[in-house]
Amino acid sequence: MKIRLTFTFAILIFILSSCSFGSLNLKDKPFETEDFLMGTVITQRVYGSNAGIAAKEATARMKAIEQLMTINAPGGDINRLNEAAGKNAVVLSPETINLLATAKEYAQMSGGAFDVTIGPLVKAWGVFTDNPRVPPIEEIQRLKKLTDYKKLMIDAVNLTAKLEIPGQIVDVGGIAKGYAGDEVIKIYKKLGIKSAYVNLGGNVVVLGTKSDGKPWRIGIQNPRAENGIYLGIVSVTDKAVVTSGDYERFFEKDGVRYHHILDPKTGYPSDSGLISATIVTDVSMDADALSTSVFVLGLEKGMALIESLKGVEAILVTEDKEVYATEGIKSSFTFSDESKEFKYAEKR
């Protein structure tokens, strides 16, 4: 078995080379951090007099969210919910209840393409571990029966949740980083920060403009090239830019490539025809859930979903190496394929 497990950033921040630190005032120099949290590398670049305080508080907040939402360590909300599957309801924190309720909304909106009860299948494939495997078809068929968001019962009044079926596992990996990004921006704003970004391993959220007043330039990774080769750049202010791609984490066996984004309906890695889905919107948690939803739905159904939502834009890349963008983002997106292998489809 050939294994390749990467923590590749799906999208990277560009800082214009014309903004050399030597020409900036001391107050314009950013406070920068890099941490390994929530299963990925998280970077922050924060400007302002409270930059250091804001970045450190943001890191502490992300650590707290990780403890609350992880399924890999005991004591957290999601872990306790999973342990009680098929038994009883569990009292959870208001933020966990809110996140689970939002996850169910996107499950319904996407027709089940996004489903946080996919945990048993995620564990069976083990793409996030050192020992990934292709489960036998009998095992996949059995575990598919446990993947049903409708069996996740939420009582927002009493702050409880319950998994109806024994063996069900909630995995919020497809939405928790988005939530964390929103919480980081709240901290920045509370401390008077006007210009900053946080990159949670491909989930990028920017506050304001860059320190020179220009929009942040976010590079869209070429899904079939090494890290740092781009298909284009999207310029944004006060936005979340989140990408789901089949190149982020995968393994190969017998010449077949298996990536980490599973289709709840098949139990196998999604084969929708998309290899990358980038969502641009105001709320990072929404962008996180939508990037997975659209990736699993495919080009036509995914675009239809995005176009039905106000204030949401998308850049989608197909396995045929065609790049599609929604109308609302085209003026902010510059296609610049360095590999010369992809085609920008002006119309769909």
Residue 228 confidence (pLDDT): 78
- Confidence label for 227 from pLDDT (cuts 50, 70 and 90): confident
Residue 307 has pLDDT above 90, yes or no: yes
CB proximity list for 198: less than 8 A, separation 6 or greater: 42, 43, 44, 58, 181, 184, 185, 204, 205
Instruction: Evaluate whether 132 touches 5 at the Cβ level (below 8 Å).
Output: yes
> How far is it, in rounded angstroms, from Cα 300 to Cα 77?
36
Residue 306 has pLDDT above 80, yes or no: yes
Give the right CATH number for 2-60+199-344 from 3.50.50.60, 3.10.520.10, 2.60.40.10, 3.40.50.300. Answer: 3.10.520.10
The per-residue b/e assignment along 47-71, b for 16 or more CB within 10 angstroms, e otherwise, is bbebbebbbebbbeebeebbebbbb
| Model pLDDT for residues 158-201, shown as the tens digit of each residue | 999 999 999 999 999 999 999 999 999 999 999 999 999 999 99
pLDDT over 90 for what percent of the chain?
A: 83
Work out the average pLDDT over 107-115: 98
Instruction: Evaluate whether 181 touches 198 at the Cβ level (below 8 Å).
Output: yes
For 253, phi then psi, to 5°, come to -140, 130
